[in-house]
Structures are given as C-alpha cells and as structure tokens.
Amino acid sequence: MLAAMGAWLRGAVHVALCAGLAACGGDPRPQNPPDAPPAQDAGTRDGRDASALDRDGDGVPDASDDCPDVADADQADADRDGVGDACDPDISIVDADGCRRDGREVCGNGTDDDCDGTVDEGCACDPGAIQSCFPGKPAQRHVGACVDGQQLCVGAPGAWGDCGIAIEPGPEVCDGLDNDCDGAADDALTCDGSLRCPAPGTLPDARPFEDYVLDGAQMFAGAARWSWTITGGPCDRLFTSQGRPTSFELRGGDTSRPTFRPTVVGDYLVRAAITTPGGDRLGCSFPLHVAGAGLRVELCWDTTGEDDIDLHLHAPRSTQDWFSADDCYHMNCKGSSPQRIAWGYPQSALSACENGPDGDDWRALGGCSNPRLNLDNIDTPSSAELITLDTPEDGATYRTMASYFTSTRSETPTTHPITNVYCAGHLVASLGQFPDLVPQFEQPDIEPYGATWRAADITTRVDGRGVTTCEVAALHPPGQTTGYDVRLGDPSY
Ligand SMILES: [Ca+2]
Ligand SMILES: [Ca+2]
Ligand SMILES: [Ca+2]
Ligand SMILES: [Ca+2]
C-alpha cells in the first residue's frame, strides 16, 4: 500500500510540476529569445510598451527573459542555450538529490522539494487534513528503508505541521536494509548477515481485533535481550503522552516473539531493540500497516476514563435529529445494543468483529452489522471509541458527531475530543488535535446530553475494485468558515 501511495504521490508531483511550468510537453522556448530582433510592433492593444511586460513577475521583462512564464530572476542558463534552467527541458529541474534547482516548494506532494528540511511549507491546506510526507531528500523517498510519515494541517488559515513518524535516512548499518536510502543495502560494510530487519512493505498487514505475532527470530537468531515499542495513531499518541494505555495491546514486549493486537486501522511504527550477550546494541525500525476496508471513525479525548463521550455517525440523505434510528450510536449500533439500526447495508463476516467487544452478541447475530460501534468507552475504559462501516456507499455523505454524555468529575468538566477519519485503512483527517483544540466542550448537566460537536461530513467514493476514498469536510458553526460546531443540549442534525 505504501508503494501504491508512493506511485500516486509521484504522479501528483508530475502533475504539479507540469502545472508550474509554462509548457510541459510543449515548446518551452521563450516567445522572444534574447538574441531575436525586436518585434516590429513594440506596443500593445492597450497602448502599453510590450518591452515592459513581465508575465512571471520576476523583474526581467518578457522580451529578455530566458523563461518568461517561470520566475527565474537569476536567469541561470547552465547549458547556455538561451533557455533558462527553470524551464529548460534539456536540464532536469532537480539535482541528483531530487532538490529543485529553482528553490521552489511544490505544494500538495508531501515532498521537501526545495530541500530546506520542511515539507510543503507555505502551502495552503484544510485544517485537520492529513497527508503522507517525507522529510528527507526527495530522491530518497520510497527508497530502501525510508518510509513516509504523516503531517497534519493545523491553524486558520491552515499550514502543514511537522512530518511525524517517518523513517528518515540514517547511517548504513549491517541489517540487510538500505538505511541511507541510496539504493544499495549494507553498502561499503562487511556484514555477517546476523541481523535482517524487515524491509518496508514486506510484512503482511495486521487486522483489527486479531493477534499479530512479530517474529524476532526472523530478524536475529542468536541469544539476546529484546525490547519492542510501537507508535500508533493520534489517539494512541495522546494516550501515551498522558501515561494511559494505548488502544492496541503489545504482549511479550520483552521477548523475541511479542504479540500485537490493534483495534484501529492505520500505519504503525515498530521498533525492536536487541542487546546481545556481548553488549552489542542492534535495532530494527519498520512500518506495520493495519488494514481494513471502508470507513472508520475514531474518537478519543484527554480525560478518557473520567468522562463519557459518545461517538455518533449519521445516515446519509437524512437530517433527522441525532439519537434517532438514523444515528449509529451506543443505543442501536453495538452488538449488545437494545435496538438495532437498519440502514440496508450487508453484514460483514464474523471475523471482522467477533474477537472484539460484544463477540458473543455478534456471533448470535450471525455477522457484523454495518455500521457498528466496535468500541464504546463505557465498556472499554481508557480506550478510544470506534465506528466501522465496511461497506460505505459511493457518493454518500456521513456526518460524525461527539456527544458529552456524563462525567465523574464534580465541577463543570471540560474535555478535548479528537475525531479521526480512516478510509481504506489510511488516516485521512484528524480534527481537534493540539493546537487546534475543540473549545467549550463541556458537560453542564443539560438533560439529556451536554455539548455536541458535529465534527465532519465524510463523503465516500468507492471505485470498481471496492476501494474507498474519502473527502472530509470539517464542520464550522453556522455561517462561519472556521472554528468547531459545538452546541449545548441541541440534538438537531
Ligand atoms: Ca521545503
Ligand atoms: Ca512539496
Ligand atoms: Ca545504502
Ligand atoms: Ca543496512
């Protein structure tokens, strides 16, 4: 999947480059090369002097600009053919590291095109959007052990934040991998082959609610002490920062064969630290993908275990109030719920849910409902809430909402919820993360519910192979273009 995303992103780079150049695939030569005789008519229809025109605004008049449609104030022309480097098809726009010679950062590609160490800086984005990114040199992206991270769009107007949980190029070490991402594994080293770390994309995917054994013996066969750590998505990072348990389990983290058991899909980063009896310290870092079709919405908050916040997902083509049959929530969407929603979606195979909470109830129902509330914080304290819809419709829009039900704290309690949207196993949006916290999300004891946060409208597209992609539109207070739509005691859609 990472490879597929890489191909997609490389495609995006190409499109963006073409959009940025005057004549991708056409004749890039300037209309008036610098050595051409002056045009007969130097005037324009509005009477201005054509010699003063400067279409790309780089300070060099078009008549003498070696790239009149691409800003290149320095007029660099390495091969001296009269066509500036910035638009010359004879010269690659990028150097050997993949860095752009014109110093331009191309937006929306998750690549550090200008090689200044930050990715897509100065680019507009929708707050809460997530994109794959790579903080190393562009030529190292998707090469060897290098793996993309993710960056979150924050603030208003939005700007891309740090590119987190990527695997960046590092010094070459004996591990069977290409650590410096130059295309050759263990190059310039003499290795005995005792350490073999998994290359990106070579491990089978994990699945929610299923045990996944990480086999250290495949990496290092000798006697050793082991220590494993796994970094998960936004909710797990929130829980970890607060010293709370994560949504996933890692059993036997000090053995050579630990078991990982995730609840939510997405990209995880696994690290194994190995200490040999002689005191040598070895290590492997690699991505592990937890796969899952369709749409998943996850909700967590910073006071989990003390406050009961409930996740809701609304049926498409309906504006019925929340807490109705058109709302998937704890009263009708769990295996053990007293009522059962009927949105007309087929059940998924039992294996998709029977190993999670309410397993006996799902088995009694003969399958996993769609959508379903897989995780309810009231049953699984200290975890996130999760709604799964394996079979979303093509072109349907689902609204997600968080409702502050109750708190064990005595004062008017405030909390900070995060809503994450995953499509086809990939995190595509995360709303409410620091520093864009949801304000005034509190429980002032308004019956029958306190604050409600309508987080996003998610429109799903399902292609001919059944693969879901999503467009996530964050919701704002009525009549506003920024901020969070938080209301008190209001069940309306
Ligand atoms: Ca940059
Ligand atoms: Ca870029
Ligand atoms: Ca190498
Ligand atoms: Ca290596």
Surrounding ion ligand 1 within 5 Å at CB are: 105, 112, 114, 116, 118
Surrounding ion ligand 2 within 5 Å at CB are: 105-106, 109, 111, 113, 120
How far is the C-alpha of 105 from the C-alpha of 99, rounded, in Å? 9
CB atoms within 10 A of CB 54: 16
Rounded alpha-carbon distances, angstroms, from residue 389 to 22, 179, 320, 351, 440: 44, 38, 20, 15, 29
CB atoms within 10 A of CB 22: 18
What are the chain's domains? 212-290 (2.60.40.10), 295-488 (2.60.60)
CA torsion sign for 213, 217, 220, 225 is positive
Report CA(136)–ligand 4 centroid distance (Å): 17
Q: Residue 150: beta bridge partners?
A: 132, 164
Q: Give yes or no for a contact between 366 and 350, defined as CB atoms under 8 angstroms apart.
A: yes
Q: Give yes or no for a contact between 386 and 298, defined as CB atoms under 8 angstroms apart.
A: yes
Which H/E stretch holds residue 14? helix 2-20
Local confidence pLDDT in tens for the 493 residues of the chain: 333 333 333 333 332 333 333 333 334 344 444 444 444 444 444 555 666 799 999 999 999 999 999 999 999 887 788 898 788 887 778 899 999 988 999 999 999 999 999 999 999 999 999 999 999 999 999 999 999 999 999 998 999 999 999 999 999 999 999 999 999 999 999 999 999 999 999 999 999 999 999 999 999 999 999 999 999 999 999 999 988 889 999 999 999 999 999 999 999 999 999 999 999 999 999 999 999 999 999 999 998 888 889 999 999 999 999 999 999 999 999 999 999 999 999 999 999 999 999 999 999 999 999 999 999 988 877 689 999 999 999 999 999 999 998 887 777 788 999 999 999 999 999 999 999 999 999 877 766 678 999 999 999 999 999 999 999 999 999 999 999 999 998 999 9
Strands 249-251 and 259-261: antiparallel
pLDDT of the residue at 292: 96
Report CA(222)–ligand 3 centroid distance (Å): 25
Q: Give yes or no for a contact between 355 and 210, defined as CB atoms under 8 angstroms apart.
A: yes
Tell me if residue 91 falls in helix, strand or coil.
coil
How far is the C-alpha of 108 from the C-alpha of 436, rounded, in Å? 21
Report CA(434)–ligand 2 centroid distance (Å): 23
Q: Six-digit token pair at 464? A: 């001919």
pLDDT of the residue at 380: 75
Kindly state the greatest CA–CA separation across the chain.
87
Q: Residue 94: beta bridge partners?
A: 100
Report CA(189)–ligand 3 centroid distance (Å): 10
Report CA(115)–ligand 4 centroid distance (Å): 24
CB atoms within 10 A of CB 100: 21
Query: Which residues neighbour 276 within 8 Å (Cβ) at sequence distance 6 or greater?
Result: 222, 223, 224, 282
Report CA(186)–ligand 4 centroid distance (Å): 4
Report CA(184)–ligand 1 centroid distance (Å): 26
CA angle 482/484/489 to nearest 5° reads 145
Surrounding ion ligand 3 within 5 Å at CB are: 172, 178, 180, 182, 184, 187
How far is the C-alpha of 72 from the C-alpha of 377, rounded, in Å? 57
Report CA(25)–ligand 4 centroid distance (Å): 39
Q: Residue 454: beta bridge partners?
A: 401, 485
Rounded alpha-carbon distances, angstroms, from residue 110 to 96, 135, 169: 19, 8, 16
DSSP one-letter code for 359: H
Q: Residue 133: beta bridge partners?
A: 149
Report CA(180)–ligand 2 centroid distance (Å): 21
Report CA(123)–ligand 2 centroid distance (Å): 8
CA dihedral 342, 345, 350, 353 (to 10 degrees): -80
Nearest ligand (C-alpha, residue 184): 3
pLDDT of the residue at 25: 36
CA torsion sign for 53, 55, 60, 62 is negative
Report CA(170)–ligand 4 centroid distance (Å): 9
Nearest ligand (C-alpha, residue 17): 2
Nearest ligand (C-alpha, residue 144): 3
